Structure 1
Amino acid sequence: MTWGTLAAAAVLTAGLAAPADALPAPVWMCHDTCGPTQATYPASHDQVPLDTTDVTGGPGTTQSPKVDCFYVYPTVDNLPNVVPAPSDEEFAQSIAQMGMFGARCRMFAPTYRQKTLPELALSMITKIPPDYSVGIGDVEQAFQSYWDHDNIDPTTGKRRGVVLLGHSQGAAVLEALLQHKFDNNSEMRKYLVSAVLLGGRVVVPTGQPDGGGTDPKATFQHIPACATATQTACVVAYSSFKPGGKVPADADIARVPNDPQHQVLCVNPATLLTGSASTPLDSVIYTRKLVGGNDLNQYGRISGLGQSLTVPNYPTGFARYHGTLTGQCKQAMDGQTTVSWLDITGGDNLVGPPQSNFYGLHALDFNLTAGDLDELIGRQATAWTAGT
């Protein structure tokens, strides 16, 4: 099984349990580091550039108002990280997703004791949902440390806005953090710029932005789906597929089975920027240089991640493709189930032809819209700063 297969399966039935006992102190992969111009692998100490080759043209990145980003990486580990120390594999996966955002915000990314790929494989076989409580405890402890010691701006003495970024298992862990610390706390929500939870499973009442305080099946009661590019304290979420038609029936990451009253949230960041339902995407793909790839193994340190991706070979850390892919949030009924997904078209030479599998383009969720997310975070940060 590939990383995408297991990582997608992991979020389908995982319970958002209360956090378990955490570490004596947070272990940071990035602590106001990881950008914006270069990054250093924690084990090998290899340095890689975080600049971008603009393949097709498009808007550049500009510095936004000062906010922070708190990022949680997806499933990477094959063996338990019992005494957590950032590995090169975890770092490669992380920097491939969030390295583009270093000019937008100070980056904080904890290392956590996640469920491993073999453990998730066993969960698939036994149908027993994975228990993320240990990882939740580690991440919540790290967030509390960040909140207590790093969030207050040393110059102004005021609290800074924060963007939460997570993918797959990382998105599931952040869902729990948002439930525990933000959803029912209006004071905390004042500092939430937005939450970007990709490849997870944010459930909302069908056609509604959140649970409204009365829906126990909804992931959030008071943190709505983002509806505009300047809305804050809101959620961007989707799972991406390139199905060439109907999303496969076993793609549970895109559905709430046998419940027409609920759906998995899909918010296309490009649509928030343009107002168009179907719109060209500003995709930013990691290069072989960034992940240590070569002609024999183009995926390098994340060899289980790429699936059908053709990894660009440039001397920069990223390659930007504006308009090569098109994305649209789509919704369909499958019996008594609403299916919701980010439908990807185009770019066969980059991300492969249409694929009929239950995890879709899961491994590339962040990269497909990274340029759009970068611009969106900038606009939300500007709106948040103007309101403080």
Structure 2
Amino acid sequence: MIWGSLAAAVTLVASLAAPADALPAPVWMCQDTCGPATATYPVSHDQVPLDTTDVTGGPAPASGPKVDCFYVYPTVDNLPNLVPAASDDEFAQSIAQVGMLLPRCRIFVPVYRQRTLPELALSMITKIPPDYSTGIGDVEQAFQYYWDHDNTDPATGKRRGVVLLGHSQGAAVLEALIQHKFDGKPDMTKYLVSAILLGGKVVVPTGRPDGGGSDPKATFQHVPACQHATDTACVVAYSSMKPGGQTPGSDADIVRVPNDPGHQVLCVNPAALLANAAGPVPLDTILYTRKLVGGNDLNQYGRISGLGQSLTVPNYPTGFARFHGTLTGQCKQATDAGGTVSWLDVVGGDNLVGPPQVNFYGLHALDFNLTAGDLADLIARQAQAWTAGT
């Protein structure tokens, strides 16, 4: 499957050089709000169903002060988006991952010229690192525009806190943005509520939250892993796997640091932060429905059919379906002949997300949805903490 190739390809080191072909101006999918727009999925962007069917009757979601969310979507394009414009497929994937956050924060989603699915598949085969520099340039340009024109609250004249969210290639692009704009820059990190980077590959020294300023192998030197639910200016990162009590296979590059016991891929479970627990904890899973993605009996995945894996897409009249506690999750770490392995170990819900599998992409396409309710509650807690400290 192409998506599995993507999961491996994003683990390769990308070129961070600034692109020579910068856009005249940022192109936005969402700039504060996500509609109306020209695309027709499923009717128009301002009519997307964002309500939720609560299948399991979990606790009410937390509320908190609104902040800004700057989100970068994963690899969606099969063909290069040479003249950037938001496609229905990009919009569907974005709303499926972060639509539940729209009531919680002003959301900003730039369109960027990403490496395509076939390009990343080829990178995996040839072992030639994908060059993300064009996409990095597009996203950094959009973030700078947001920072200069949209971040200041017109009512108070003060800057707003911002949550950075990205998945897969989107997470890799945001890693570069954090390195360039935030890491080691206290005047910027004081506005960073948190960075949620899922399905990428944030590397830390084994047992430490960041590089501490002297570790060139660490992704960040001064932006640490989140260790408590009220920590701010910190990182939540994981790649989800369901290996059924086994260690993910030797080809699971996205969760491995080969031949280096001194470093590991960062795994932070948002549900564990909220519960202040280290062991397996219930996950607040929010899955997209067929209605949200335009699916039907013949193609339940609709606009995101290339990314579905073994998910059974719920068929409800709402945009999302919530399954609180159907799955449990725990960050696990192991060392084998291939190096250190760190992953979010998911158990349960075979009827929803498929049976255990040790293959190299795991539950990559569902990284955001598996803990979506937990992420929303965590952002609310972090936003409250950030607001109290400003």
Quick check: 1:266–1:342 contact (8 Å CA) kept in 2?
yes
Distance 1:199 1:174 in 2: 12
**Per-residue deviation, residues 155-185 of structure 1 (Å, max 9, x unmatched):** 0000000000000000000000000000021
Partner Cα separation in structure 2 for residue 339 and residue 247 of structure 1: 8
User: Which residue does 1:380 correspond to in 2?
Assistant: 382
Report the Cα distance in structure 2 between the residues aligned to 1:114 and 1:315, rounded to whole angstroms. 33
Residues 282 and 323, structure 1, Cα contact 8 Å, conserved in 2: yes
Equivalent residue number for residue 347 of structure 2: 345
Secondary structure of the residue aligned to 1:285 is strand
Partner residue, 1:15: 14
Once the two structures are superposed, what CA deviation does each residue of 1:105-137 show, in whole Å capped at 9, x if it has no partner? 100000000000111111112110000000000
* CA RMSD, 1 decimal: 1.1
Tell me the secondary structure at the aligned position of residue 197 of structure 2.
strand
| Partner residue in 1 for 2:330 | 328
Distance (Å, rounded) in 1 between the aligned partners of 2:231 and 2:176: 22
Q: Is the 8 A contact 1:331 1:341 kept in 2?
A: yes
List structure 1 runs of 4+ shifted beyond 3 angstroms: 39-42
**Cα pair 1:202 1:265 within 8 Å, conserved:** yes
Contact 1:19–1:135 at 8 Å: present in 2 too? Answer: no
Partner SS state of residue 237, structure 1 = strand
1:19: Cα distance to partner?
2.7
Verify the 8 A CA contact 1:40 1:48 in the aligned structure 2. Answer: no
Match of 2:365 among 363, 366, 371: 363
% of aligned pairs identical?
A: 78
Is 1:259 equivalent to 2:260 in the alignment? yes
What residue number does 1:276 align with? 277
Alignment partner of 2:346: what SS?
Answer: strand
3-state SS of the aligned residue for 2:306? coil
Listed as ranges, the matches of 1:81-160 within 5 Å are 81-160=81-160
| Equivalent residue runs for 1:184-333 within 5 Å | 184-244=184-244, 245-277=246-278, 278-333=280-335
Q: TM-score when scaled to structure 2?
A: 0.96
Question: Contact 1:65 / 1:378 at 8 angstroms: preserved in 2?
Answer: yes
* CA distance in 1 between partners of 2:67 and 2:40 (Å): 30
Q: TM-score, normalised by structure 1?
A: 0.97
CA offsets 1:359-385 (integer angstroms, 9 cap, x no match): 100000000000000000000000000
User: 3-state SS of the aligned residue for 2:303?
Assistant: helix
**Residues 127-151 of structure 1, C-alpha deviations (whole Å, 9 max, x = no match):** 1000000000000000000000000
Give, in angstroms, the shift of residue 41 of structure 1. 6.7
* Secondary structure class of the residue paired with 1:303: helix
Residues 2 and 117 in structure 2, CA contact (< 8 A), matched pair in contact too: no
Distance apart, 1:12 and its partner CA: 1.1
* C-alpha contact 1:161 1:381 (8 A) present in aligned 2: yes
User: Contact 1:10 / 1:120 at 8 angstroms: preserved in 2?
Assistant: yes
Q: Is the alpha carbon distance of 1:349 and 1:41 closer, same or farther for their aligned partners in structure 2, counting shifts above 3 Å?
A: farther
Q: 1:179 is aligned with what amino acid? A: Q
Distance 2:95 2:323 in 1: 18
**Conservation of the 8 A alpha-carbon contact between 2:250 and 2:338:** no
| CA distance in structure 1 between the aligned counterparts of 2:383 and 2:112, rounded to whole angstroms | 27
Aligned-partner Cα distance in 1 for 2:331–2:285: 16
Cα drift, residue 20 of structure 1: 1.2
The gaps in structure 2 that reach 5 residues or longer are: none
Shift of 1:339: 0.5
1:320-344 Cα distance to aligned partner (Å, 9 max, x none): 0000000000000112611100000
Do the aligned residues in 1 keep the contact of 2:63 with 2:377 (CA within 8 Å)? no
CA distance in 2, matches of 1:60, 1:106: 21
CA separation of 1:41 and 1:154: change in aligned 2, threshold 3 A? closer
Distance in 2 separating the partners of 1:69 and 1:53: 24
Q: What secondary structure, in the 3-state scheme, does the structure 2 residue paired with 1:141 have?
A: helix
Residue equivalent to 1:72:
72
